[in-house]
Amino acid sequence: MHIPVMLNECLEALITDPKGIYVDGTLGNGGHSAEIFKQLDTDGMLIGFDRDIDAIERVKGKLKSEEGKRVELVHDNYANMAAQLDRLGIGQVNGLLLDLGVSSFQLDIAERGFSFQQDAPIDMRMDQTSGQTAGELVNTAPEQELADLIYRYGEDKASRRIARAIVDARGKNRIETTLQLAAIVERAKGGRKGKKTHPATQTFQALRMAVNDELAGIERVLETMLDRVVEGGRIVVLTFHSLEDRLVKQLFSRHVPREESLQQGGVKRIYEDPAIAWVWKKPLTATEEEQAVNPRSRSAKLRAVEIGE
């Protein structure tokens, strides 16, 4: 079961006009989308994106246009959102929600290859219709490239040792499955050392982020959609680890006006166009009650901005 994270907080931040057009960039199981759709009035519209065709098929069965309220589902990377809105003849929207990362469905289905707890070919593509699998990356990338991406996307200080171990192992036999890879990483890091998290957690995160080009996608959708949300509309983003959160925070911060004193006196307002304002200064986190029932919410950070000053 995928329980939507911080559902009430997301909806409260997102919906400013129930007759508006709202985009859910990460449909997943449609948990957030179903509630957005419920809260829309006649003339309201929901557009949902997911690059995973399974998500689109699942949500198709649950969410349908009703008289006066429309749903449009798009199978594409949210990085292409602006072009897809052009195709649909939609100029501006009232709000955008992104709930980043993988869904519980993707993690639970062993064959998707996201999990080091279930044995399967190492795939990790969110869109299984295109692109290189994590298995191909692990078996072909130069050692330095593997080390760099494990360091950058996994923030694992043992990145060089892990990359070396991967290259040694694949020199003997192709690395076929998630459990083989997890064991190689575990050995390279000297075992579990009594830690709660599996030693391969960061390497798996890094490979997933690389294969799906995740940070570039987030940057692109946010940069292009800032111009496509009406003044007073909101962009709401749920992140699940520090790399995502840092990127979102830094990108939005560039658009929040700040004042700088001029030498000749007076002040100058500095910001990138369009100007936006934080809905809250600090990100919201899930309540203790939610964290108790939904472990995925424990690492969630919710940021929201409003377009205009």
Q: How far is residue 139's CA from residue 211's CA, in Å, rounded to a whole number?
A: 13
**Please, which residues have CB within 8 angstroms of residue 289's CB and are 6 or more apart in sequence?**
none
Based on the number of CB atoms within 10 Å of its own CB, is 245 exposed (0-12), middle (13-18) or buried (19 or more)? buried
What backbone torsions phi and psi does residue 61 show, to the nearest 5 degrees? Answer: -70, -15
Question: How many other CB atoms sit within 10 Å of the CB of residue 296?
Answer: 19
Q: How far is residue 39's CA from residue 33's CA, in Å, rounded to a whole number?
A: 10
Nearest CB to ligand SAM, comparing residues 28 and 199:
28
Q: Where are the beta strands (DSSP E) in 82-190?
A: 93-99
Q: How far is the CB of 36 from ligand SAM (least distance, A)?
A: 10
Q: Which residue has the tokens 């998630």?
A: 178
Q: How far is the CB of 24 from ligand SAM (least distance, A)?
A: 7
Nearest CB to ligand SAM, comparing residues 22 and 199:
22
Residue closest to 96 by CA, chosen among 216, 214, 252, 285:
252
Based on the number of CB atoms within 10 Å of its own CB, is 167 exposed (0-12), middle (13-18) or buried (19 or more)? middle
Which residues in this chain contact ligand SAM in the complex, by CB under 6 A? 2, 4, 26, 28-32, 49-52, 55, 77-79, 99, 101-103, 126, 217
Q: Which residue is nearest to ligand SAM (CB)?
A: 28
Nearest CB to ligand SAM, comparing residues 2 and 69:
2
Nearest CB to ligand SAM, comparing residues 126 and 181:
126
Q: How far is the CB of 98 from ligand SAM (least distance, A)?
A: 8
Q: How far is residue 162's CA from residue 146's CA, in Å, rounded to a whole number?
A: 9
Nearest CB to ligand SAM, comparing residues 48 and 135:
48
Q: How far is the CB of 222 from ligand SAM (least distance, A)?
A: 12
Q: How far is the CB of 5 from ligand SAM (least distance, A)?
A: 7
**Please, which residues have CB within 8 angstroms of residue 62's CB and are 6 or more apart in sequence?**
30, 34
Instruction: Copy the structure tokens of residue 218.
Output: 């987030």
Residue closest to 122 by CA, chosen among 53, 175, 183:
175
Nearest CB to ligand SAM, comparing residues 45 and 81:
81
Nearest CB to ligand SAM, comparing residues 102 and 302:
102
